[in-house]
A and B are shown apart, each in its own frame.
Chain A
Amino acid sequence: MDILQNTSFMEIVVIVLLTGLTAVAAHLGKSVFHDGIRPILPEFLEGRMKRSELASISFGLSIGFIVSVGLSFAISFKMLNPWLLFLPTDILGVLATRWWIAALLGGGWGLVALFGLTGVQAAFTMLPIDLLGSLGELSTPVLVAFTAFPIIAILYQFGWVRALIAGILALIVRQLLPVFGGVFTERANEEVEKARQLADITFPKDADFAAKISALKEAAGQNNQIQDLISEASNHFSLGSTIGGFTMQIAVLMLMGMILLISFAVAKDLKNKNDIAIDSEEENIFAARTKRIFKGLPILAGIGALLAVAANMGLMTGSEVSGPILQQAWQSTGQEQSDLLQSAAIADIIRGISFIPLIVTTALATGVYGVVGLTFVFPIGYLLPNPILAGVVGALWICLEVIALRGIGRFLQRFPSLRESSDNIRSSMNSMIELALFIGGAFAAMKMAPDAVGLSLTIYVLLYAANEGLGRPIMKLAAGPVAIIITGIILNLLYFLHLV
């Protein structure tokens, strides 16, 4: 069995434990993934709503997400994602009448998702027209779209003048980064030249940096001076290419835009300081609800640990923004992989920041936490060197988050514009990812059938347009990926019929 060989025992254990635990957490009302179910849970916990009613509401709110976003993203990015795993465990946990039933159902869903995904992949790789390989094309426009998130959020909240200023600043920084990186690359070249003179060799005309270094290493022998120059040159060269590289540019631009957005919001609130009132009734509700979250800490920390482990093992993506980059990251190696993982981490950290006000406020108002917390356990998983360390730090991090909840809540009361910024960041992220995945789908269509580009693009665009015309039965966010997967299937069918 191909599927079984591709999935290690550890992977199965991690996913099954994770989904089992999240279902139990939903059953006990400790945490749910869907932001809309969190505020309704107290209605059930405090006896104003029946279990079946809550289960049907959560099913209704979630099913669209599970099918369109969860499923299509899992296939497109070849990784499990929170929507596919945790929206169903919300429903199963709520539906179950005992905690152990919730655990069994949840764990069962983990198995279905894991083997379903590997099974679909195995089936797709057997197709004559490469569907899965082409899906990698989805990621390029997504990476570029990142840089626009904060700037568009500034446009929504503070108007076009400040957005234009932010945009121009971003462009200047973008152009400066390669120049700055070039300084180090130049230094590296000078050192290589010096070493070459010392070693008294000549390079072939078209030798690249790596070739020069290996030629020097050969010639260096026991000469310490040359060896020092070689190692300095290599360090400077990798520093230069990291700074000037594509992923670094994106990361720096995103961070810069975020800093500008947050500064604008904080400045606005500091100016209107006297108009902002803090409600004491709210404080009392928040205090009682926070205690409830504290009681759930063991199970929340357990989930946090498993999430970080799953992210570290490359089993899971934290979000729609990091998914495409992670897919590239796990396929590459060495320096490139760690660069891409860093970009994915930064993307998820920024997405996480934009979700803080929503998750913190609903948690404080309801006493029910988010299954993935403030989503920062994912970047922890991507960045740490091994699963064990990721698990330990993930668990500790969730504890820190819960301890910090009240403080963050108070901070947000003082800066209401930050809440608005968070909505705007999420709005712009949404629009840009929709756009990027649509364009990425077109790239994938072209790669899928290089000899019949017109045909594949036509099928893709028609499918996308059909979804629009039918009143979007598939959410716009998932429309691109769903359309390209169907396009791939149709192309394969046509191939079997000898029509392509």
Chain B
Amino acid sequence: MLRIVVGGLKKDITERSVKAEGGKHVQVTVTSDFEGAKKVKAGDADYYIGACNSGGGAALSVAIGILGYGNCSTVAKAGGKPKAEEIQKLVDQGKIAFGIAVESIEEAVPHIIRALLKKHGLV
């Protein structure tokens, strides 16, 4: 079971996408960027997913401050399509917080969840 916290903008869409892809393998908590990142740091959650307009601004800024830049990555920027291979690579590098542009949530979240499930041997 992966414990995932959702922060940032359009949390409802992110939550729905995570649940749709992860099904019984994920437990989703909708919260704020600050509370979510603290949960991940404290070990009460495994991964953080957040969205904002650019995918790298409000989506991750607080997470970077709390979890460190090396643990966070933007997976889908504004004005571009998210790529499955790149997301897989970032997941394999051990990133624990992911930022997405609001327009790409529905496309990017399934990639992230699939990559995470694969990494943890849940598929």
Would A61 and B57 be within 8 Å (CB), given that A361-B62, A366-B65 are in contact?
A: yes
Cβ of A396 under 8 Å from chain B: no
> Among A39, A43, A65, A156, which residue has its beta carbon within 8 angstroms of that of B53?
A65
B77-113 interface code vs A (CB 8 A; 1 in, 0 out): 1111100000000000000000101110000000000
In the complex, what residues of B have CB within 8 A of residue A362's CB?
61-62, 65
Interface size on B, residues (CB 8 A): 37
Chain A nearest Cβ from B44, distance in angstroms? 12
B32–A477 CB distance below 8 A? no
> Among A34, A39, A431, A471, which residue has its beta carbon within 8 angstroms of that of B64?
A39
In the complex, what residues of B have CB within 8 A of residue A427's CB?
9-11, 102
A426–B58 CB distance below 8 A? yes
**Dominant SS among interface residues on chain A:** helix
In the complex, what residues of B have CB within 8 A of residue A40's CB?
64, 69
Q: Which residue of A lies closest to B78 (CB)?
A: A64
Q: Which residue of B lies closest to A57 (CB)?
A: B56
In the complex, what residues of A have CB within 8 A of residue B79's CB?
64, 68, 472-475
Cβ of B8 under 8 Å from chain A: yes
Chain B nearest Cβ from A429, distance in angstroms? 9
A39–B60 CB distance below 8 A? yes
Q: How far, in whole Å, are A17 and B77 apart by their CA atoms in the complex?
A: 32
B78–A35 CB distance below 8 A? no
B10-44 interface code vs A (CB 8 A; 1 in, 0 out): 11100000000000000000011111001000000
Q: How far, in whole Å, are A64 and B60 apart by their CA atoms in the complex?
A: 17
**Dominant SS among interface residues on chain B:** mixed
Cβ of A339 under 8 Å from chain B: no
In the complex, what residues of B have CB within 8 A of residue A420's CB?
31-32
Would A475 and B53 be within 8 Å (CB), given that A420-B32, A427-B10, A427-B11 are in contact?
A: yes
Cβ of A279 under 8 Å from chain B: yes
In the complex, what residues of A have CB within 8 A of residue B54's CB?
34, 36, 61-62, 64-65
Cβ of A365 under 8 Å from chain B: yes
In the complex, what residues of B have CB within 8 A of residue A430's CB?
9-10, 53, 102
Q: How far, in whole Å, are A362 and B11 apart by their CA atoms in the complex?
A: 20
> Among A60, A366, A416, A477, which residue has its beta carbon within 8 angstroms of that of B77?
A60
Chain B nearest Cβ from A329, distance in angstroms? 26
Of the listed residues A48, A62, A420, A423, the one surrounded by the most CB atoms of chain B closer than 10 A to its CB is A423
In the complex, what residues of B have CB within 8 A of residue A156's CB?
11-12
In the complex, what residues of A have CB within 8 A of residue B7's CB?
423
Q: Which residue of A lies closest to B69 (CB)?
A: A43
- Interface residues in A55-77 by Cβ distance below 8 A to B read 57, 60-62, 64-65, 68
B56–A36 CB distance below 8 A? yes
Cβ of A358 under 8 Å from chain B: yes
In the complex, what residues of A have CB within 8 A of residue B57's CB?
34-36, 61
> Among B34, B38, B74, which residue has its beta carbon within 8 angstroms of that of A357?
B34
- Interface residues in A422-453 by Cβ distance below 8 A to B read 422-424, 426-427, 430-431
Q: How far, in whole Å, are A427 and B57 apart by their CA atoms in the complex?
A: 14
Chain A nearest Cβ from B38, distance in angstroms? 7
Cβ of A30 under 8 Å from chain B: no
Cβ of B2 under 8 Å from chain A: no
In the complex, what residues of A have CB within 8 A of residue B9's CB?
423, 426-427, 430
A-B contact pairs, 10 of them (CB 8 A): A36-B54, A39-B62, A61-B77, A68-B78, A419-B34, A419-B35, A423-B8, A427-B10, A471-B80, A477-B53
Given A62-B54, A361-B34, A365-B66, 15 additional A-B pairs, CB 8 A:
A34-B57, A35-B58, A36-B58, A36-B59, A39-B60, A39-B62, A61-B74, A412-B34, A423-B7, A423-B8, A426-B58, A430-B10, A471-B81, A473-B80, A476-B102
6 smallest beta-carbon distances between A and B, as pairs: A365-B65, A36-B57, A419-B32, A39-B64, A36-B56, A64-B79
